[in-house]
Amino acid sequence: MSKLIVILNGPNLNLLGQREPETYGYATLADIEADCAALSGELGLVTRFEQSNHEGALVDMIQAARGDAAGVIINPAAYTHTSVAILDALSAFDGPVIEVHLSNIHKREAFRHHSYVSARADAVIAGCGAGGYALALRHMAGLVSG
């Protein structure tokens, strides 16, 4: 049976394609979801792709992944820089975690340079735009193989 990878997206990422495209690109979240679904098939994985603007809802999604997912890929968006709750939920998940940012957060404002999630992430991808999700999925395939 194919392993399930949960791909989670935080606040305002539902506006991708319209929101500050010079920073976040022109791909929509639906475009990224379609690319991830196609690639996961090639990699022998299945993906569940979710987005919420609410911290508690993201915590619930991470907790749900404990039951059925082999790995979690997460772009926590603004919660990257604020959320101990998301860090704690990820710490209660046993499988690999990959943190993705569309932009290079280290090249931006100082308040974006710190990530709570990085304390748990097995890998971090930043600054590769929408393509960062495909890089994360390819790396995840290796982490969950075997």
Q: Check whether 139 is labelled as a binding-site residue.
A: no
Q: What are phi and psi of 36, to 5 degrees?
A: -65, -40
Closest approach, Cβ 115 to ligand DHK, in A, equals: 9
Binding mask 16-55 for ligand DHK (x = CB under 6 A): ----------------------------------------
Catalytic residue positions, numbered: 24, 101
Q: Check whether 137 is labelled as a binding-site residue.
A: no
Binding mask 99-118 for ligand DHK (x = CB under 6 A): --xxx-x------x------
Residue 77 touches ligand DHK, criterion: CB under 6 A: yes
- SS3 category, 82: coil
* Residue among 39, 5, 2, 28 at smallest CA distance from 102: 28
Q: Is 13:75 a contact under the CB 8 Å cutoff?
A: yes
Distance between CA atoms of 130 and 146, rounded to whole angstroms?
28
Q: Check whether 102 is labelled as a binding-site residue.
A: yes
To which H or E segment does residue 123 belong?
strand 123-126
> Which residues contribute to the annotated binding site for substrate?
75, 81, 88, 102-103, 112
